[in-house]
Structure 1
Amino acid sequence: MPDRRYYFEHREQQLAASRAWKQANPDRARAHNRESARRAALRKKAIQRRRERGRAWYAEHRDQERARARRFRQEHPDKVREYQARFRERHPERAAEQGRRASQKWRDGKADTVRANQRAAAEARRGDDPDAFRRWYQTNLEQQRERGREASRRRSRLKKLGLPPRKIQRVYANERRVNERAGDEFFGRQRSAADVARLRAEVMSSFRWPTAAQLARQRAVLQARQRVMSQDELRIAGQRLQDRLRAAKASDLARTLFPEEVANVARTRSSRLRREVEMDSIARQNRGAEPYDVDKELQRRIHQEAGERAIAIAKRSVKEEHVKRLVSASFPPVPRRRSAPVNAAPQQPRRSTPTGERGDVER
Structure 2
Amino acid sequence: MPQEARAAVAVKKGAPVEVLPVLVPDPGPGEVLVGVQACGVCHTDLHYRDGAIGDEFPYLLGHEAAGTVEAVGPGVTALAPGDYVVLAWRAPCGGCRSCRRGRPWYCFDSRTAAQPMTLTDGTRLSPALGIGAFTEKTLVAAGQAVKIDPSARPEAAGLIGCGVMAGYGAAVHTGGVSNGDTVVVIGCGGVGNAAIAGSALSGARRVIAVDIDDAKLDAATRFGATDTVNSRGTDPVAAVRELTGGFGADVVIDAVGRPETYTQGFYMRDLAGVLVQVGVPDREMRVDLPLIDLFSRGGALKSSWYGDCLPSRDFPVLVDLHLSRKLDLDAFVSETITLEEVEAAFATMQRGGVLRSVVVF
Same fold? TM cut 0.5: no
Structure 1 length as normaliser, TM-score? 0.19
**Higher share of residues assigned helix:** 1
Greater RCO, CA 8 A, separation 6+:
2
Which structure has the larger Rg?
A: 1
